[in-house]
Amino acid sequence: MGQISRNEFGSIVVNDQVLTNMIIDEMLDMSDSIILCNKKGKIIKHKPTPFIEPDYHDAVIITDTIKENSIKLYVIVVFGKSISSVADELFERIGAIYDSLLHKKPDVVKFRVRGMKTAAGVVKREIEVQHSYE
């Protein structure tokens, strides 16, 4: 699928895969605060590589239909980091991605915390922070 952006100069279609890669790149930049995981809470990688691998795509789900335009992010937060401040930073980064592409921002972004990374391991959590763009 792709998302269409129209203005006075014409139209452009941005593939959802491109948006997913851009969001993953921003999430990897925050590796001191979050660890990418799948929707079941399994850590995808301990040390991110400079290249975005297909495994990372389990951490970001973009839904772009007539009824819904949303993004779901699955992460594990590092112990000692504020979930709300990490979520706010990520929401700002996603907004900046859409602004740079001149796209309409998603209706809702859901930041789903599946666990907390502690010195002893990962403690399971089920926390969701939701953000709506206006």
Domain that holds residue 30: 2-132
**pLDDT digit string (tens) for 20-41?**
889 998 998 998 999 999 999 9
Give the other-Cβ count within 10 Å of 102's Cβ.
12
Q: How many domains does the chain have?
A: 1
pTM of the model: 0.86
Task: Give every CB contact of residue 77 below 8 A, 6+ residues apart in sequence.
Answer: 33, 34, 35, 83, 86, 113, 115, 116, 117, 125
**pLDDT digit string (tens) for 82-120?**
999 999 999 999 999 988 887 788 899 999 999 999 999
Say if residues 19 and 62 touch (Cβ distance below 8 Å): yes
CA distance 16 to 22: 10
Q: Look at residue 29 and give its three-state secondary structure.
A: helix
